[in-house]
Chain A
Amino acid sequence: MNTIKYFDNCATSKISDSVLDCMHQAERDCYFNPSALYNAAASVSAKKEAARATVAKFMGADPAEIYFTSGGTESNNTALFGAAKGKRGNIITTKVEHASVYYPVAELKNRGFDVKYAPVRSDGTVSEETISALTDSETAMVALMHVNNETGGINDIKKLCAAAKKINPKCLFVCDGVQAFGKIPVNVKNLGVDFYSVSAHKIYGPKGVGALYVKKGVGISPLIYGGGQESKLRSGTENIVGILGFAAAVDGVKDRMKDYADRYIYFKRILNNIITDKVTDFVVFPTETTAPNIFTVIFRDIKAEVILHMLEDKNIIVGNGSACSSKSMVSRVAEGIGLPRNYAEGMIRISFGSDNTDADVALLGESLCEAVNTLRKLTRRSK
């Protein structure tokens, strides 16, 4: 069997060998509970703190501002519910946020907050003017993602955060950075945000571990009470193996980010050329304003799920936006970015990873076009 050519790295990535080695060793040797008083436990605790420093440094934070969690979803929930406690007013967000922001905000609406959904541009990003217009003295939180997980569109978080805080310095800015972390340069101090969520498994680390940055001095209540681990914000015996794996993953990408980005941008050009050459009626987003690792293409009159299976037959794995889910339901993302109905089901998300080669990308491009043309010949859908 041919090896799998994996182009769905935004869903999750294949764990790297160096991370695996680190975790294997940690699983065997670092079994002591870091809260215990004996020396062996203290050494585990020290490794955990070193890992915290690695993650913190990679995003320009102080280690004391980094809290380990079970992943992006928990980080987002902790930030939103933890910061909302005791507050009222309105929350500004969009309909294209990841589910782990969208649904907690919907729940906060049930609990009495006003929610204002900011309109987005076609690539899912929000303009400074929009945020300025929506923010008022009652705004408690602004929750926006750094990189959109379906379109790859990059929000200018620095400007958006500044725009909101200019009008209401007290509002808290929650940023879901899961798709940005390790893909584009991130410096939380420079961005000015109060919360920033990241995850290990999108950068060749393990599933089940992530972190939340909480700016020093920002008040937050825990969701989970217990033994008081993670400075009382996240009780529960620490996932040491995961945390050490997370730091190893950061070590693996931190010096290669620029190289990866250059390579991925080149991949995008290859794909764009092939598709432009062979297929009609499609939409792609400009390279300059999207994350380097994400290439989203939306085909007219195509069901993405079918393309996905046709490519799968050739051992090529791509993602489909949440756009293609059922015959009656157009996804909130497709709706949010204003896709016409006959494009709404045709979103293919290609997200590159460190294993992809030029040849794989060319094969992907050719196979994708062939699949789209074959399927269009077979289906007589809305013309």
Chain B
Amino acid sequence: MDKAIILRYAEIHLKGNNRGYFENTLIENIKKALKDFRYEFQKTHGRYVISGFHENDETYIVSSLEKVFGIHSLSVCYVVDSNIDDIADAAAELGVTSGTFKVECNRADKTFPMKSYETAAELGGRMLDRFADLKVDIHNPDNIIYIDIRENKKTFVFTSSLPMAGGLPVGCGGKGLLLLSGGIDSPVAGYMMARRGMKVSAVHFHSYPFTGVKAKEKVLTLAQKLSGYTCGIKVFIVPFTDIQVKIHENCPEEFMITIMRRFMMRIAQKIAQQNGMGALITGESLGQVASQTIESINTTNSVVDIPVLRPVIGFDKEDIIKISQKIDTYETSILPYEDCCTVFLPKHPVIHPKKEIIERAEKKLDIDSLVSEAVKNIETIIY
């Protein structure tokens, strides 16, 4: 029996004049997600139908589509010729064999000889004949069997819908640059902005030899996992060791982290501006560590002009972990490789830095040339 996948879209149908733009973006993203598969794509009223794929690909197609924002729900259905016997056979294959059920029928093809309610009643009867443990319950059934008789003499038979990622199609919400550290929070932050339709790229600060190839691979693995949600991702790897050493040599130990983060923000803004990105994204969560107090955030934020989006700022660690598990980045994030901060981690980092004092401490550094030097040596990787 042939199978097809019905996709229903999410919030897009709310967007009046922009609807075409949102829809085209979504279709483009779906096709990108399914680029490794052979299938037929059909746009029908209010939904999309994917058919003609190899049965072994079904699981992979569904799991790829689960990451596409803008899709509200998905149903895998049997596709049969529009005659009552074939439809009944397909309904019997759905696995609804006990408990209560009802049949709902939608007849777009008005040449089909039975009316919707007649079809539903007939199929309900046939199901009862086949499965002794089934009972009909019109009001509160355990399962609903949907029969969708299409104009093209084909009928879709399916039972439940899987809830999908929701959100808005990636690309509709502008471009942003995610500061991707390798920890738990930043991939979640990137995921959340992508969910609102933002096209996310990532920047990672690499401090070889203080952090190794494995630490970099870990970040790239995270980026790769995110790329399913972000419709591909571009990663900018910034060599950061020289800056860290210069800060270490010239600035008070307790300001190390604050000044380092100010450099990260400056470099990120420069990359964003060069690539037409309108915002930075960080995984900061208020009060989580010394560098995430409101004073620290203020001090690091003050070196950039473009908006800095912090989608997990009000989240507890546990909430963030739950999302990271859902998007499959958690296990990678907790791999124990040195990250760029630990080698230079001061014993007592300043928790409530004052901007003026930090600015004075930075005076010894040639900030502009350090930033341009780092930006000049960026390595770019695209997934």
Contact = CB atoms under 8 A, between A and B. Distances in A.
A329 B336 contact: yes
A327 B342 contact: yes
B208 interface: yes
B245 interface: yes
Contacts of A312: 209
Contact of B212 (A309, A379, A380, A381): A309
Nearest to B214: A305
Given A378-B245, A379-B344, A380-B253, A306 B336 contact: no
A306 B253 contact: no
A305 B211 CA distance: 8
Given A327-B342, A380-B346, A310 B336 contact: no
A286 B204 CA distance: 44
Contacts of B338: 303, 305-306
Given A326-B336, A378-B248, A308 B212 contact: yes
Q: How large is the interface on B (under 10, 10 to 19, 20 to 34, 35 or more residues)?
A: 10 to 19
B1 interface: no
Contacts of A305: 212, 337-338
A223 B211 CA distance: 41
Q: What is the interface of chain A mostly: helix, strand, loop, or mixed?
A: loop
Nearest to B253: A380
Interface string A281-320: 0000000000000000000000101101110110000000
A280 interface: no
Interface string A23-64: 000000000000000000000000000000000000000000
A325 interface: yes
Contacts of B347: 380-382
A329 B337 CA distance: 12
A379 B336 contact: no
Interface in B95-146: none
B209 A306 contact: yes
B60 interface: no
B253 A379 contact: no
**A-B complex: 8 closest residue pairs judged by Cβ atoms:** A326-B336, A309-B209, A310-B209, A309-B212, A325-B336, A306-B210, A305-B338, A327-B342
18 contacts: A303-B338, A303-B342, A303-B343, A306-B210, A306-B338, A306-B343, A309-B208, A309-B211, A309-B212, A309-B213, A310-B209, A325-B336, A327-B342, A329-B336, A379-B343, A380-B253, A380-B346, A381-B347
Given A309-B209, A382-B347, 16 more contacts: A303-B343, A305-B337, A306-B209, A306-B210, A309-B208, A309-B210, A309-B212, A309-B213, A312-B209, A313-B209, A325-B336, A378-B245, A378-B248, A379-B343, A380-B253, A381-B347
